[in-house]
Structure 1
Amino acid sequence: MAKGKGKVLAVNKKANYDFAIEETIEAGIVLQGTEIKSIRNGKVQLRDAFVLIRNNEAWISNMHISPYEQGNQFNHDPVRSRKLLMHKKQISTLIGQTKEKGTAIVPLKMYIKDGFAKVLVGVGKGKKLYDKRHDLKEKEAKREMQRAFKDKQQY
């Protein structure tokens, strides 16, 4: 694997549907025991996960990492809160951005980069129902244009 490139293990598709992502930040994650082995096997789920700021530290909650199959008594709690590794400056900007109403910090992707597990965290505003419908219509229109363009090239 090339340096600087990451192998994406989990994507939170619901985050882009529910939030208009304005900024993204890469963060490391503190793991315990066999959690990294489960993550490398792709046994991680970000669907209902969210990020909280407590005592000037970023914590990710509700991220599900399945217990490692070959692990015995040293397995971990699958849904425990895990600390995110970020610079103080990044955390202070996150605190400032979340003071606005309707803004949330959500994990977007989890990947392995240079042997370490990383989480791509996004700051986004919640979408209204009509925004979601508008995005679906735009997506469908782009698909139709791509199909028409593809059909035109074949002839």
Structure 2
Amino acid sequence: MAKPANAKTKDAAENKDAVQLILKNRKLHHAYAVVESFEAGMVLMGSEVKSLRAGDVQWGDCHARHENGQLWLYGLHIGEYRQAGTFGHQPVQPRKLLLHRKEIDRIAAKLATKGMTLVPDELHFRRGFARIVICLASGKDRGDKRQDLIKRAMKRDVEREVARRVKNG
């Protein structure tokens, strides 16, 4: 049986909305208490986009700052694209983040409070554009990290006990 005429366009539309994950900050939730997260676009050169698609990117000491009414991303290392030749880019340079004015103002107000920072969570492509999820977070102290480890261990023990009881009947 043949597919309806609009089935191909429907599949293509679903594919466009799919998120292609490039990089995830796995240490974020261990080191920071996340308050709020935002998805932002980035101003990139063509060679930077090619390197991102190839997966040649590292967080390093990546963070974002609010300067002159704009958000800038610092410390993101995007490797050089070999085929770019002389038209390449610098691997580590400040990159402008694209958000709505209201979001930037809200972030700036929250960054003014003591202990708040902007940390990247993940880097992905959605609808063909590179996007970064940045989180407004405060650093955890040693005690908070220990409490998280204890909670995780207790949860794991409970799950293990439940699984054992289910198995033994």
- The two structures have a TM-score, normalised by structure 2, of 0.84
Structure 2 contact 16–128 (Cα < 8 Å) conserved: no
Greater shift after overlay, 88-97 or 142-151?
142-151
Which residues of structure 1 form unaligned runs of 5+?
none
* Structure number with bigger Rg: 2
Give the AA of the match of 2:15.
A
1:146 to 2:153 alignment: no
Please say if 1:2 is aligned against 2:15.
Answer: yes
Query: Does structure 2 retain, via aligned residues, the 8 Å contact 1:51–1:58?
Result: yes
> In the alignment, is the contact (CA less than 8 A) between 1:14 and 1:47 conserved in 2?
no
The within-5 A match list for 1:33-112 is: 33-112=46-125
The superposition leaves residues 113-136 of structure 1 with CA deviations (integer Å, 9 ceiling, x where unpaired) of 010000001101111111011112
Partners of 1:134 and 1:47 in 2: CA distance? 27
Greater per-residue helix proportion:
2
> What is aligned with 2:126?
113
Displacement after TM superposition at 1:47 (Å): 4.2
Letter in 2 for 1:95: A
1:60 Cα deviation (Å)? 0.2
Q: C-alpha displacement at 1:144, in angstroms?
A: 3.0
Q: Secondary structure at the match of 2:157?
A: helix
Instruction: Write the letter of the residue equivalent to 1:83.
Output: K
| 1:40-85 deviation line (CA, Å, top 9, x unaligned) | 1111122421001111011000011111233322221111010000
**Count of matched residue positions in the alignment of Structure 1 and Structure 2:** 155
Query: Where in structure 2 are there 5+ consecutive unaligned residues?
Result: 1-13
Match of 1:15 among 28, 49, 55: 28
Opposite residue 110 of structure 1, the aligned amino acid is L
**In the alignment, is residue 25 of structure 1 matched against residue 38 of structure 2?**
yes
Tell me what 2:9 maps to: none
1:33 touches 1:74 (CA, 8 Å); kept in 2? no
Q: Tell me the SS of whatever aligns to 1:77.
A: coil
CA RMSD of aligned residues (A): 1.7
Q: What is the Cα deviation at residue 5 of structure 1?
A: 2.8
